A and B are shown apart, each in its own frame.
Chain A
Amino acid sequence: METITPAGQLFQYLITGITVGSIYAMVAVGFNIIYNVTEIINFAQGEFVMLGGLVMVSLHVGMGLPLIAAFPATMIIVTLVGMLLDRLAISPIRRPTVLSLIIATIAASILLKGTAMFIWGKDPYDLPAFSGRNPITFLGAVIQPQYFWVIGFLIITVIVLTLFFEKTILGKAMSACADNPDAASLVGINVKQMILLSFALSAAIGAVAGIVVTPISLMEYDRGAMLAVKGFGAAVLGGLGSFPGAVIGGLILGAIESLGAGLISSGYKDAFALIVLMFVLFYKPSGIFGDIEVSKIKRF
C-alpha cells in the first residue's frame, strides 16, 4: 500500500482547500458585481452555479455537443436567465428598497430551484472531467487535472473582470453606478441597463463556476444554497464589493476548511470557517479589503 508523509498530507489539504476555495471565490465575485452596482445581495447567485452545471450536463452529455461549444452555450443560457431575473423580478419593483430587492432575489432562488427540480429531477448528474481523470502525483499529493481547470478559470475570470472594470467605458460606467447612481444617471449613464448588465455578468460567472465544479462534485438541483452561503462568507471575509477581497476571502475560507478538517476534526469543518469569519469581522468589520469609510455611505 502507498503511504503518505505528513508533509504530503499537508500539501494535499492545501491544494484541495484552494480548489474548493476557488469555487467560493467565483461565487463571491458574482455577489460583488451585483452588490457594487445595486447594493443588494443576490441570493440567487448559488442557483446560477447550479444552473451552469446542470445546463452543461444537458448540452454536453445529453445532446452530445462538444465541450468547446457546450461551454459558451451554457454561459449564454445562464446569462439569459440572469437577465430575465433582472427584467422580471428586480426591475419591475415600483419603489425599490434594498430589502424588497433582496427578498425578490430570495423568491427567484426558490423559483429557479423548483424549476430545476422539474426539469432535471432530484438525482445528481455527472460531467466528464475536461482532461481525463488520471490524477497527477506531485510532492506526495494527488491532484485531479480538474483542479487546474478550476483554479485556471478563477484566474481568467479575475483578469478579465479587472480589465473590464478598469479599461473599458462600459466597465467604468458600471463602477460609476456603484459609486453614486444619481450622479451616474446625470452624466448620461443608463442605470437600469447597468443593473441588467451586472446580473448578466454574475450569471455568466456563476455558470463558469458550476461548469468547472460539476466534474468534481456532481451537481443536483438543490446545491445552490450551500454554495451561496459559502460564497457570501467569502465575499464578507474579503470585504463586500472588493474583487481581490473576494478571491482572497474564498481561498482563505477553502484553505481553513480543508486544514481544519484534516488537522483537527472533519466534523467541525464548517465551524472553523465561521469562527475565522467572525474574528475578522470583529477586528475589521468591513472585511480584509473593505473600506470602513466606503461601507458607511452604502445603504446595506
Chain B
Amino acid sequence: MKLRRIVIFTTVCLFSLGFLVSPALAFKVGAVFSVTGRTSFLGDPEKKTAVMVAEQINAAGGINGEKLELIVYDSEGDATKANLAVKKLITQDKVSVVIGPSLSGTSMAVVPLAAKYKTPLISCAASYKITWDKEKGTARKWVFKTPQTDTMAVDAIYSALKQKGISKIAIMSVTSGFGASGRGELIRLAPEYGMTIMADEKYGPKDTDMTVQLTKIKGLAPKAIVNWSVGPTQVVVLRNWRDLGMKSIPFYQSHGFGSRKNIELAAGAAEGVFCPLGAVNIAELLTPYDTQYAVAQRYLKDYKAKYNEPLSSFGGHAWDALHMAAQALASVGDDKAKIRDYLENNIKGFVGQHGVFFYSPDDHIGLDKAAFRMVVVRDGDWALAD
C-alpha cells in the first residue's frame, strides 16, 4: 500500500512540475530535415547549420533576451514522416514557425498543414510549386522558401550564353526528378532567349558511361552543352566530354555541380566547365565590396570551426530560413499571423547565404537570377567567370 501511495504521489508531483515548467519561456522554432537516408546530403548540413545558428543566437543573448529553442525532427526524406513531424511540431511542440523540409516532395506534403494550422513555413527545397498555388494563381499564404529555383539557374545560364552570342545548344539531363525538372525549364525558356536545342539527351542516374549521348551531340556540333544532373553521373559525363576531345564545346553544369568534391572526382576533366552558384559556394572569391561578403565569410569560418568538415551550400538554405525566422520573432514576437505578415512585408533586402531576399505578397521565393554567380573551374578550383 505504501509503495502505491509513493508512486501516486510522485506521479502527481511530476505532472504538476510539468505544468509549472511548460509555459513558453522561449521562442520555439521547429525544423524538419532529411537528416538521414538517401537525401542526407541535404538534410545533414541543414541540421548542423540550424543547430549552429540557434547556438549563436542564444550565445549572443537570444531573441530580445528570450532563448531560441530549436526543435529538429528527421524526415528521412519520407513524405509521410515529414507530414507527421510538422504536425507534431505545430500541435504538440507549439512552435511559432517551421523551417524545412529539405526536399520538394516532402515540402509539398506539408504545405497543406501550414495553411490548416495557420503556421508560417519556410521550406528549404527548390521547386517553385512549393510557394506557388497554380490553381488559384497566387502565392500560398503561409509558405515561403529560401533556395533558388531551377528557373533562376536556367535564366543565369541562358543569359551567359546569350552574352557570348551562342544560340545553338545541346542539353543533357539525368532521368531523375532533379534532371527532369531542369530539362523542363531548359526547354520552356529556350524560345525566350532565342536558344535552339539541337539535341535533348538523357541518361539514367546509375549509368556507367555517357559516351554515346556525347558522341551523338558531337555529330550535331552545337556551340555549347548544358547538363542537368546530380551525383556521380555529372562527373562521368565530364570525363567522357574530355576523352571525346569535345573541350572546344563549352560545357555548362547546373547548380547541382556546386561541390569541390566533384572537381576532385573529375580528375582534371572539370577544367573550363561553367556553372551557376550561390554566393555561399564561393565565399573565398567574393570581393569585400560584395553585399554577401560578410555573411558568407562568417558562415564559412564558423561552420568549419564547429564541424571541421567542408561547407556544403545546402546548409545555407537553413541559415537563411532560420535567420529570417529569428528576425521576424525579434520584431513581432511569437504570434504566428504577425510572423507571416512580417516575412511577407518586411523581408526586403535580407542578405542571406544564397542571395538577397525580397519577399512580397506575390513572391514568396524572394530571389531572382542575380542570386546566381557564373563560376568557371580553373586550376582545380572555382573562379568567377567574366
User: Using a CB–CB distance below 8 Å, which chain A residues touch chain B?
Assistant: 1-4, 6, 9, 12-13, 16-17, 19-20, 23, 122-124, 126, 128, 133, 135, 137, 141-142, 144, 213, 216-218, 220, 222-223, 226, 258, 261-262, 266-267, 269-270
Contact = CB atoms under 8 A, between A and B. Distances in A.
23 contacts: A3-B218, A3-B219, A12-B215, A16-B211, A19-B209, A20-B209, A128-B267, A133-B267, A135-B243, A216-B209, A218-B235, A218-B236, A222-B38, A226-B204, A226-B206, A262-B213, A262-B216, A266-B201, A266-B212, A266-B216, A267-B175, A269-B203, A270-B204
Nearest to B214: A12
B204 A4 contact: no
A1 B261 contact: no
Contacts of A133: 239, 243, 267-268
Contacts of B175: 267
Q: Give the 4 A-B CB pairs with smallest separation, nearest first.
A: A217-B208, A124-B232, A226-B206, A267-B202
A20 B215 CA distance: 15
B307 to A, nearest CB: 15
B343 to A, nearest CB: 34
Contacts, number: 100
Given A3-B218, A133-B239, A262-B213, 20 more contacts: A3-B221, A9-B218, A16-B212, A17-B212, A19-B209, A124-B265, A126-B235, A126-B265, A133-B268, A135-B243, A141-B215, A142-B243, A142-B245, A144-B243, A216-B236, A218-B232, A226-B206, A266-B202, A269-B203, A269-B207
Interface residues of B toward A: which range?
A: 35 or more
Contact of B267 (A9, A126, A266): A126
A178 B336 CA distance: 70
A109 to B, nearest CB: 15
Contact of B209 (A135, A217, A267): A217
Nearest to A270: B204
Q: Please indicate which of the listed interface residues A13, A17, A142 has the most CB atoms of chain B within 10 Å of its own CB.
A: A142
Given A142-B243, A218-B232, A4 B206 contact: no
B212 A12 contact: yes
B212 A223 contact: no
Contacts of A216: 208-209, 236
Contact of A124 (B235, B244, B245): B235
A20 B202 CA distance: 17
Contact of A135 (B204, B245, B249): B245
B248 interface: yes
Contacts of B206: 222-223, 226
A3 B203 CA distance: 23
A20 B203 CA distance: 14
Contacts of B219: 3-4, 6, 9
A261 B209 contact: no
Contacts of B221: 1, 3
A226 to B, nearest CB: 4
B104 to A, nearest CB: 20
Given A1-B248, A124-B265, A269-B203, A217 B232 contact: yes
A13 B212 contact: yes
A195 to B, nearest CB: 30
Contacts of A213: 208
A231 to B, nearest CB: 12
Nearest to B261: A123
B40 interface: yes
Contact of B215 (A137, A262, A269): A262
B216 A9 contact: yes
Nearest to A141: B215
Contacts of B218: 2-4, 9
Contacts of A16: 209, 211-212, 215
Contacts of B40: 122
B231 interface: yes
Contacts of B202: 266-267, 269
A124 B231 CA distance: 8
A144 B221 CA distance: 22
Contacts of B244: 135, 142
A6 B220 CA distance: 10
A222 to B, nearest CB: 8
B41 interface: yes
Contacts of B248: 1-2
Interface string B288-331: 00000000000000000000000000000000000000000000
